[in-house]
Amino acid sequence: MNRKRLFALAAILLMIGIAVPFAIGWALATPVQISVGKAPSDLGAETVEFKSDSGAIIKGWWCPTVNSRGVVLLLPGIRANRLSMVDRARFFRRGGYSILLIDFQATGETKGDHITFGWKESLDALAAADFIHHVDPSARIAIIGSSLGGVAALLATPPLKVNALILESVYPTIEIATRNRIENYLGPIGRMFAPFFLMQLHRRIGVSPSQLHPIDHIAAVDCQVLIMSGEKDRNTRPADTQKLFEQARSPKQLWFVPNAGHVDLHRAAPQEYERRVLAFLEQMAQSE
């Protein structure tokens, strides 16, 4: 191969390496707003809305249960909405818990300009917790945050006033999350191009990478924590989850879900997932 062809090939690879991170950034941050329709009848849901300091009016379903054992707030993953959490809501309802399902800003029926990888969504999580405290001031509250939902729960400032926190497939830092995803597309060489994704953050959503470090916040969580991820997750890898777990305060638990990838933990092992999670929440229900 002559020198001109080598230069041409190098130029093409460079363009691909730059274009892919920008395309991923654009796709992940673009709002995904749809009509979610009526709540499934078996949830006994009421449609609710409340203001968030993110600037959004949060839309959701409030599913109260008579003689509730507590309230579970379900926070969906990136580009997902409350429909993605319905199966979880069903088994919590069977377990005697009230549930709040929400759409974060810029997803589902909640309006917003950009998905912000947990930054503005953390304000939505605070608003949702405040809603529960207002509706049932004495309730014990647990949060399940899947991927971005878990990031939002950790980035919330001040820390959320809850009794239990379950984190699923949560990245430790945006740099690690970016590196993993670019590598998934481009292979090991993708590490070289991850900075092109990070460069977009401030321009696109007004946030610096240093503001998207859930691992810096987890030690402030003052409640029992269950951290989970899939053994085959390529976006939030087991080593990343281990780093997050090591920084959490006790009491804490860790579970790597066999054969699960990213954000499919309940679907991958429904019976074991439900057994573990309900046992974990039982500790909250019985605590003084």
What is the per-residue pLDDT for 11? 46
- Tell me the C-alpha distance between 28 and 206, whole Å: 15
What is the per-residue pLDDT for 205? 84
193 burial type by CB count under 10 A (0-12 exposed, 13-18 middle, 19+ buried): buried
Structural domain 36-173+212-286, CATH architecture: 3-Layer(aba) Sandwich (3.40)
pTM for the full model? Answer: 0.91
Instruction: Give span(s): CATH 3.40.50.1820, the chain.
Output: 36-173+212-286
Contact, 114 vs 136, CB < 8 A?
no
What is the per-residue pLDDT for 177? 93
- Look up residue 256 and give its two tokens: 């790597």
The phi-psi region of residue 55 (left if phi > 0; otherwise alpha if psi is between -120 and 50; otherwise beta) is left
- Look up residue 164 and give its two tokens: 């239990």
pLDDT tens across the length of the chain (288 residues)? 566 665 555 444 445 545 555 556 556 678 999 999 999 999 999 999 999 999 999 999 999 999 999 999 999 999 999 999 999 999 999 999 999 999 999 999 999 999 999 999 999 999 999 999 999 999 999 999 999 999 999 999 999 999 999 999 999 999 999 889 888 877 887 677 777 778 778 777 889 999 999 999 999 999 999 999 999 999 999 999 999 999 999 999 999 999 999 988 999 999 999 999 999 999 887 765
Q: Which residues contact 42 (CB under 8 A, 6 or more apart)?
A: 90, 93
Report which secondary-structure segment, H or E, holds 153.
helix 148-155
Distance of CA 90 to the CA centre of its chain: 19
- Look up residue 59 and give its two tokens: 């839309």
What is the DSSP code (8-state) at residue 40?
A: P
Q: Given the structure tokens 């203001």, which residue do they identify?
A: 51
What is the DSSP code (8-state) at residue 159?
A: P
What is the per-residue pLDDT for 287? 66
State phi, psi for 227 to the nearest 5 degrees.
-115, 130
